[in-house]
A = this chain, B = another copy of it.
Amino acid sequence: MVQIPNTPPPASPAPRSVPTSADVARLAGVSRATVSYVLNNTSAVRISEPTRRRVHEAAEELGYVPHAAARTLRAGHSRMVLMPAPAVPVGPLYGQFINELQWALGRLDYTVVQHGSVGLHGDEAARAWAELRPVAVLVPGIGLGPEGVAVLKRAGARAVVTVGPARVEGAHALLMDHGSVGHCAGSHLHARGRRRIGVVVPQEPGLEAFSRPRLDGVRRALYGTDASVAELPLAFDERAAAELAARWRELGLDAVFAYNDEYAMLLMCALQDEGIRIPDDTAVVGADDLMIGRLLRPRLSTVHIELPSGRDLADLVDRAVRDPDATPEAHRVLGASVVARDSS
């Protein structure tokens, strides 16, 4: 980093102590309880309009901001919905889903907080999350077990919702079966007459939770047919793709499901550089239905994945928070369908 020579330091304001609700009460000439009623918009207590105004003016003048932690302690729970921040850079599909979810929860008056629990796993992470006393926790991926769910509930979480391949005891489940993504791709390639089908398995850590079920899905689709499946480990870099492409003819494959559109672009490009014709020699199918697939030549066939709507998920969270003792719900939320273009 390049240090920039400072212009003469701006006169820094004298350090002030953090204003409290007691300061607001003193300035407004009311009790602390009244301040709390007014600023939390409590309707249970009747407070005159002039008093309300005086409290608001005093809070404004002092720059008082309510303290979420203090409110949490009083109420026993917060309006905070906690999610772990994704540890791998998320694709545009998932990023959009998260934004929609935050927006929908915000409209229901929740605050969404993504906890950067990098390096913590499973129930250990649950303990770190529990320290913030969220009212609900939303956990994508795998790793959280029944013990972690119990830790969160004991810490006051009224709802734990997992988003992953299987149910976890005590938690609501949005079941995302990535096997269906692979199944789609496998059936499509088989229907197009392909019989020796490669499946790309990314070597980047953190993707196994998606790549394994996708591979298994292809296997399931082809089970009992005359087609065979070959696992193709691949790192997301040009050299690895070129090496795989150089071995392509001896592998004798006539199709490949490339995990997703980005890997498909990487591999397709390497295959074309090797003189392999697509789709004549090898059919290629990606997944995620990203824009880049439509820009490739030939245009990339892909599996379109339908994530749950952020609004539906926000409604589930809210329902669960209102009725923490209800039997956990389970919903299948992943839709998968092939978009056939020119590469297969």
Interface residues of A (CB under 8 A from B): 1-4, 6, 9-10, 12-13, 15-16, 18-19, 63, 65-70, 72-73, 76, 78, 85, 87-90, 92, 95-96, 98-99, 102-103, 105-106, 111-116, 118-119, 127-128, 130-133, 150-151, 154-156, 169-170, 174-175, 236-238, 262, 265-266, 269, 291-292, 294-295, 297, 308, 312, 316, 324-325, 327-333
A-B contact pairs, 30 of them (CB 8 A): A1-B316, A2-B331, A2-B333, A3-B329, A4-B175, A4-B332, A6-B327, A6-B330, A9-B328, A12-B327, A13-B150, A18-B154, A18-B155, A18-B156, A65-B130, A65-B131, A65-B155, A67-B73, A67-B133, A67-B155, A68-B131, A68-B132, A69-B72, A69-B78, A85-B102, A85-B114, A89-B90, A89-B96, A99-B118, A238-B295
Bound Cα distance from A113 to B128, whole angstroms: 12
Bound Cα distance from A66 to B170, whole angstroms: 22
A63-B154 in contact given A73-B73, A115-B113 (Cβ < 8 Å): yes
Contact B95 A92 (CB under 8 A): no
A269-B291 in contact given A6-B330, A18-B154, A105-B116 (Cβ < 8 Å): no
Task: List residues of chain B with CB within 8 A of the CB of A333.
Answer: 1-2
Q: Which 9 A-B pairs have the closest CB atoms?
A: A89-B95, A112-B116, A69-B69, A102-B116, A114-B114, A68-B131, A1-B331, A9-B327, A65-B130
Task: List residues of chain B with CB within 8 A of the CB of A72.
Answer: 69
Task: List residues of chain B with CB within 8 A of the CB of A118.
Answer: 99, 102-103, 106
Bound Cα distance from A333 to B2, whole angstroms: 7
Task: List residues of chain B with CB within 8 A of the CB of A127.
Answer: 65
Contact B151 A312 (CB under 8 A): no
Contact B332 A67 (CB under 8 A): no
Contact A154 B19 (CB under 8 A): yes
7 new A-B contacts, CB < 8 A, other than A1-B174, A106-B118, are A4-B330, A10-B169, A16-B154, A65-B131, A113-B114, A237-B291, A238-B294
Number of copies: 2
Contact A106 B116 (CB under 8 A): yes
Task: List residues of chain B with CB within 8 A of the CB of A90.
Answer: 89, 95
Task: List residues of chain B with CB within 8 A of the CB of A98.
Answer: 85
- Across the interface, A291 reaches (CB within 8 A) one of B6, B18, B112, B266, namely B266
- Across the interface, A266 reaches (CB within 8 A) one of B87, B295, B328, namely B295
Which residue of B is nearest A65, CB measured? B130
Distance in angstroms from A339 CB to nearest chain B CB is 14
Contact B115 A111 (CB under 8 A): yes
Which residue of B is nearest A94, CB measured? B89
Bound Cα distance from A85 to B112, whole angstroms: 9
- Across the interface, A99 reaches (CB within 8 A) one of B67, B89, B332, namely B89
Task: List residues of chain B with CB within 8 A of the CB of A297.
Answer: 269
Task: List residues of chain B with CB within 8 A of the CB of A70.
Answer: 69, 73
